[in-house]
């Protein structure tokens, strides 16, 4: 059972996530907090496996809470979540030590996957955030800057190991179109197969393991 602490200043958001987690056999919401200070106190008391931390909270705020939580409880996995990705520097968030970073408009299954992957020691970044990271990169040799938004979405799902049919259903594309996107990804990124694609993603920080 993965024990989750939710830190978000919106009670409605907390209630919705609480109900969502209650439907998952391997996830349990053990506590909640509305500020960064409350999140630190709850983490010390409850010792959760994962803290789902909103970056935009009153008081201490999410980023400072993440910094202090990493110092006091380095074994606790942190998943950062935000509704304002345009106001956040993704690499700064990831460099703070979080295991995953998702947006509040992400599909439910994406958030669940991020929680599970973080608890398992893996890493996850929402496609929209990953795209923002590549667009903000000033490295001329960053290969992912050539991808469109849709191509980045397909890429992130390929890296998750999802088959074409699942990607097709999730993005409302035909399987043939998904296959075309996958072929285009290999061509644009100058790799021959999914293994080389994964190595490239690890090298540039989109993922950090084969989980």
Start-end ranges of CATH 1.10.10.10 in the chain?
Answer: 131-203
Residue 211 pLDDT more than 70?
no
- Average pLDDT for 112-122: 93
* Architecture in CATH for domain 2-125: 3-Layer(aba) Sandwich (3.40)
Element (H, E) at 50: strand 50-54
Region 167-196: what's the mean pLDDT? 91
pLDDT value at residue 135:
53
Residue 164 pLDDT greater than 90, yes or no: yes
Pairing of strands 100-103, 77-82: parallel
CATH no. of 131-203: 1.10.10.10
- C-beta pairs of 178-184 under 8 Å, 24+ apart in sequence: 178/154, 181/150, 181/151, 181/154, 182/154, 182/158, 184/151
DSSP assignment letter at 120 = T
For residue 135, how many other CB atoms are within 10 A of its CB?
A: 13
pLDDT at residue 8, rounded to an integer? 92
């Amino acid at each position: 059972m993965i024990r989750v602490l939710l830190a978000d200043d919106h009670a409605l958001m907390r209630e919705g996530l609480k109900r969502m987690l209650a439907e998952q056999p391997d996830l349990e919401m053990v506590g909640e907090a509305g500020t960064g200070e409350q999140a630190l106190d709850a983490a010390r008391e409850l010792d959760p496996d994962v803290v789902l931390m909103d970056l935009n909270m009153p008081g201490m705020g999410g980023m400072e809470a993440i910094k202090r939580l990493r110092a006091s409880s380095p074994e606790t996995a942190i998943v950062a979540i935000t509704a304002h990705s345009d106001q956040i520097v993704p690499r700064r968030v990831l460099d703070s030590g979080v295991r995953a970073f998702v947006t509040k408009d992400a599909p439910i299954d994406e958030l669940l996957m991020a929680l599970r992957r973080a608890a398992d020691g893996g890493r996850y970044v929402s496609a929209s955030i990953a795209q923002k990271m590549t667009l903000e990169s000033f490295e001329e040799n960053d290969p992912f800057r050539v991808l469109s938004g849709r191509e980045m979405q397909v890429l992130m799902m390929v890296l998750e190991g999802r088959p074409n049919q699942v990607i097709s259903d999730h993005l409302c594309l035909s399987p043939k179109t998904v296959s075309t996107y996958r072929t285009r990804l290999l061509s644009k990124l100058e790799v021959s197969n999914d293994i080389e694609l994964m190595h490239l993603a690890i090298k540039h920080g989109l993922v950090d393991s084969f989980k």
